[in-house]
Amino acid sequence: MLEKANQIDYLEGNMSIKEPVQRNAAEDVIKVGTDIWMIFSKREWYLCDKTQGNALKKVPISRDIDIPILKLIYLLSPTLMGIKPATTVTIIAWKEEKRLNLNTWRKHKREIMDQLHPIKELVLNRKENSELVLFYNPSSLERLLAERDTSTFYQYLGYPLDSLEAFLGDLKKRCKMSGTLPPEIGVVLGIPLKDVKGYMGLTKDSVGIVRGWKMYGNPDKSLKVYRLYKEAQQRTTELIKRMPMTQVIDKLRTEHIGGTI
């Protein structure tokens, strides 16, 4: 088990990220997000935010599964908040059990998913050393599929829409048959329909800019969506610094970021 951190101590650390790494004092360094790292040093876990000058902040970690849950909270935060219907995560067989590790995931899946309620999971592709998992918010995904333009798009592609289970079952079947993610999954993953259609060659729009994905035609709406996702992850980082993970998850379920899409 990891050393139990003080549940009340959220004080800033006195180190920068370079110090423990340069002194080889960091026993483990785990990338959580683009600018977020977890550092294990002197029997304590610290959160490093590059956007905040690399200062370290101690975080309360008491169980082996807390690091995988922490990373999933960050990656899935827009989905937990209901602004992004689903997110795919590839979980691989790291040697380090503290990471988002395939063995840890398979062993503690039920406990991890209980923590991430109401998020559900669907394995789209399973290999010996990896799993491609779709984490989805059932309510958000059902609302998306009920939208006229979205339902028309998926009906055109032959997807069943009589139930969420039928839709996801067909999506999983197509992933298995093709050995990869079909491009239409982009809508499920929160990419605007116009961009998915543009990528599939179903419109005459050309690529305008690239921010997380290729944005076709007028990028204004797409940029708004992208910024909402980034804002959700930034908000999650701020919450992780201030409160235990269970409270972070509870907070994210009721948070509202930047209006609606």
Condensed to tens digits (0 to 9), the pLDDT of residues 221-243 reads: 999 999 999 999 888 888 887 78
Report pLDDT for 35.
Answer: 73
The residues pairing with 215 across neighbouring beta strands, listed in sequence order, are 209
Kind of pairing, strands 26-31 and 36-41? antiparallel
Average pLDDT, the chain: 83
Helix (H, G, I), strand (E, B) or coil at 224: helix
Position with higher pLDDT, 58 vs 172: 172
Report pLDDT for 11.
Answer: 26
Reading across the β-sheet that carries 55-58, which strands appear in turn?
12-16, 55-58, 44-49, 36-41, 26-31
Count Cα neighbours of 192 within 13 Å in the Cβ-side half-sphere.
Answer: 23
Counted residue by residue, the chain has a size of 261
Report pLDDT for 97.
Answer: 56
* CB within 8 Å of 3: residues ≥ 6 apart: 43, 44
Report which DSSP code applies to 109: H
Helix (H, G, I), strand (E, B) or coil at 79: helix
Report pLDDT for 30.
Answer: 66
Cis bond before residue 118 (omega within 30° of 0): yes
**Mean of pLDDT values over 45-67:** 72
Nearest one of 101, 83, 84 to 92, comparing CA atoms: 101
What number of other Cβ atoms are within 10 A of residue 87's Cβ? Answer: 22
Among 4-8, 39-43, 58-62, 244-248, the range scoring the smallest mean pLDDT is: 4-8
- Cα 138 to chain center, whole Å? 15
Per-residue pLDDT band for 217 (boundaries 50, 70, 90) equals: very high
Count Cα neighbours of 236 within 13 Å in the Cβ-side half-sphere.
Answer: 29
Would you say residue 93 has pLDDT above 60? yes
Report pLDDT for 240.
Answer: 81
Would you say residue 8 has pLDDT above 50? no
**Mean of pLDDT values over 116-121:** 95
The token duo for 20 is: 């423990």
233-251 burial code (b ≥16 CB/10 A, e <16): bbbbbebbbebbbeebbeb
pTM equals 0.82
The token duo for 205 is: 């729009």
Nearest one of 117, 71, 130 to 98, comparing CA atoms: 71
**Pairwise CA distance, residues 112 & 64, whole Å:** 11
Per-residue pLDDT band for 45 (boundaries 50, 70, 90) equals: confident
The token duo for 258 is: 């930047």
Report pLDDT for 184.
Answer: 98
**Mean of pLDDT values over 126-139:** 94
